């Protein structure tokens, strides 16, 4: 069996971090098993779907490196849905119902008031052809419900949640098509999964009850029921379900200087007991991905943890990976010198400004003024093609008896204007002889 997963966003907005996690896990699972990862654009809602969001979804997946093996659009498959609906109507598994939203809400309140589950009473099934004709003559158009088999228990072994069981008689027959002819999510998704050979459906735990009804739809259409993995939802760092997570998308992360590798490394293991590690290459994440390692507790998404992970990944990135985002002049040697001090690639510009100058050095202490003068004299005689920093500090250590902080800090301040930063042995050759002499003299 070829494993086939699908990510099925609706283009009614941009992807948020929860969507990105779902897409990633579908991609990881497919790659882990040598299978296929499909992108399905669920654009049946013509009023809310927008092409700009379709393009944004594609761009976001591309930024994360989650390249789909194929793409489908539900808006191109309406004829297929019509045909399968007609089949289910003929088989007695889909029926028309005429209650208004107000009538259904009243029924729901009555049942709840009696302490009963608000399950639809199937009153529409008692209507005769004449009754239906009379209602339609009054201008009412039916919505369409899938008739569940109330005699059957619905069970599956979820890849995350373990054994699941629902009593069909405690579920309402789901509406699959509205009175205005528009489709709800449930039936088109099942038809697509059958036609596209989807073997594994990976989504959030908020879809568990949908799965119960959809399993009967698969059976009614004689389709193979896929395996299901319902993952715990993300929570914010404060430990509660956070509305803010619904607004954190690729634009937010890119503006914060987050690398896609960092987002992948974090989201791949959130919800497991496995350590989050700074993998710049996703291969180890693919090789180890297993739904059995995910727990049912909510997964905590912490932007501070992401930022720390991002810094560790930036420290691994080669010059070729970031060259198009660096200021002119930073070659591989320059990148390797400043990379260990960066939290984001964008910060490279700050350190390159230190290299090229001008800098604003802090005032020199009286006891350091003569020392910096000696440093300039020594620096003028050095072989700058070798290791000027070691040669400079060794000579000054021998002639001034300074060591440790008293030796290194005044030099760093004069040469960079900062108390901390990249290794001076790597940084000083980039600053160069002329700039170094001028800075030491100014000190």
Side-chain half-sphere exposure of 228, counting CA atoms within 13 A = 26
> Which positions make up the binding site for ATP?
243
Side-chain half-sphere exposure of 419, counting CA atoms within 13 A = 4
Strand residues in 76-226 grouped as ranges (E): 94-97, 143-146, 153-158, 162-167, 175-177, 200-204
- Rounded to an integer, what distance in angstroms lies between the CA atom of residue 270 and that of residue 282? 15
> Which positions make up the binding site?
243
Say yes or no to pLDDT of 222 above 70.
yes
Say yes or no to pLDDT of 238 above 80.
no
Question: Where do the H-state alpha helices sit in 37-77?
Answer: 51-64
- Rounded to an integer, what distance in angstroms lies between the CA atom of residue 237 and that of residue 218? 39
Category of 391 on φ-ψ map: left (φ > 0), alpha (ψ -120 to 50) or beta? alpha
- Total H helices, total E strands in the chain: 19, 12
Measured in degrees and rounded to the nearest 5, phi and psi for residue 246 equal -75, -10
pTM here is: 0.92
What 3-state class would DSSP assign to 106?
helix
Residue 247: per-residue pLDDT: 82
- Rounded to an integer, what distance in angstroms lies between the CA atom of residue 288 and that of residue 281? 13
Q: Enumerate domains of the chain plus CATH numbers.
A: 4-78+185-235 (3.40.50.620), 86-177 (3.90.800.10), 319-356 (no CATH), 366-442 (1.10.10.350)
Q: Give, as one character, the DSSP assignment of residue 272.
A: B
- Rounded to an integer, what distance in angstroms lies between the CA atom of residue 268 and that of residue 307? 16
Residue 9: per-residue pLDDT: 97
Q: What is the pLDDT of residues 73-112, one digit of tens each?
A: 999 999 999 999 999 999 999 999 999 999 999 999 999 9
Q: What is the pLDDT of residues 384-436, one digit of tens each?
A: 999 999 999 999 999 998 999 999 999 999 999 999 999 999 999 999 999 99
**Whose CA is closest to 310, among 347, 284, 357?**
347
Residue 242: per-residue pLDDT: 67
Q: Give whole-number Cα distances, 304 to 84, 258, 277, in Å.
A: 49, 11, 15
Measured in degrees and rounded to the nearest 5, phi and psi for residue 173 equal -60, 120
Q: What is the pLDDT of residues 311-343, one digit of tens each?
A: 999 999 999 999 999 999 999 999 999 999 999
Q: What is the pLDDT of residues 252-306, one digit of tens each?
A: 999 999 999 999 999 999 999 899 999 999 999 999 999 999 999 988 999 999 9
What 3-state class would DSSP assign to 230?
strand
Strand residues in 98-226 grouped as ranges (E): 143-146, 153-158, 162-167, 175-177, 200-204
Measured in degrees and rounded to the nearest 5, phi and psi for residue 359 equal -115, 165
């Amino acid at each position: 069996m070829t494993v086939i997963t699908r990510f099925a966003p609706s283009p009614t907005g941009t992807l948020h971090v929860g969507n990105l996690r779902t897409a990633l896990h579908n991609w990881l699972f497919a790659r882990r098993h040598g299978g296929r990862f499909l992108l399905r654009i669920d654009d049946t809602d013509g009023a809310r779907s927008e092409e700009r969001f379709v393009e944004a979804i594609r761009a976001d997946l591309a930024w994360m490196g989650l390249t789909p093996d194929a793409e489908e659009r539900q808006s191109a498959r309406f004829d297929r849905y019509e045909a399968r609906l007609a089949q289910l109507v003929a088989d007695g598994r889909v029926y028309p119902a005429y209650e208004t939203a107000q009538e259904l809400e009243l029924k729901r309140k009555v049942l709840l008031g009696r302490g009963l589950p608000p399950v639809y009473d199937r009153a529409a099934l008692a209507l005769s052809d004449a009754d239906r004709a009379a209602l339609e003559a009054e201008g009412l158009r039916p919505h369409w419900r899938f008739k569940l088999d109330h005699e059957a228990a619905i069970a599956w072994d979820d890849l995350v949640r373990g054994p699941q069981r629902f009593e069909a008689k405690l579920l309402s027959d789901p509406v699959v098509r509205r009175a205005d002819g528009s489709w709800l999510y449930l039936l088109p998704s099942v038809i697509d999964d059958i036609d596209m050979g989807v073997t594994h459906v990976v989504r959030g735990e908020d879809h568990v009850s949908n799965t119960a009804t959809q399993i009967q739809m698969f059976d009614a259409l004689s389709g193979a029921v896929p395996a299901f993995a319902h993952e715990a939802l993300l929570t914010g760092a404060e430990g509660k379900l956070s509305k803010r997570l619904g607004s954190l998308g690729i634009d937010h992360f890119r503006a914060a200087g987050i690398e896609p590798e960092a987002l992948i490394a974090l989201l791949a293991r959130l919800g497991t007991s496995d350590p989050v590690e700074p993998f710049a290459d996703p291969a180890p994440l693919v090789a180890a991905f297993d739904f059995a390692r995910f727990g049912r507790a909510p997964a905590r998404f912490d932007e501070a943890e992401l930022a720390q992970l991002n810094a560790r990944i930036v420290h691994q990135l080669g010059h070729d990976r970031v060259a198009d985002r660096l200021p002119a002049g930073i070659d591989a040697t320059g990148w390797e010198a400043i990379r260990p001090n960066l939290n984001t690639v964008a910060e490279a510009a700050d350190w390159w400004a230190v290299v090229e100058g001008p800098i604003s050095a802090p005032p020199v202490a009286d006891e350091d003024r003569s020392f910096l003068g000696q440093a300039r004299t020594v620096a003028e005689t050095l072989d700058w093609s070798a290791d000027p920093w070691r040669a400079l500090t060794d000579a000054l250590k021998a002639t001034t008896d300074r060591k440790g902080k008293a030796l290194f800090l005044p030099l760093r301040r004069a040469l960079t204007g900062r108390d901390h930063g990249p290794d001076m042995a790597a940084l000083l050759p980039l600053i160069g002889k002329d700039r170094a002499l001028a800075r030491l003299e100014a000190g």
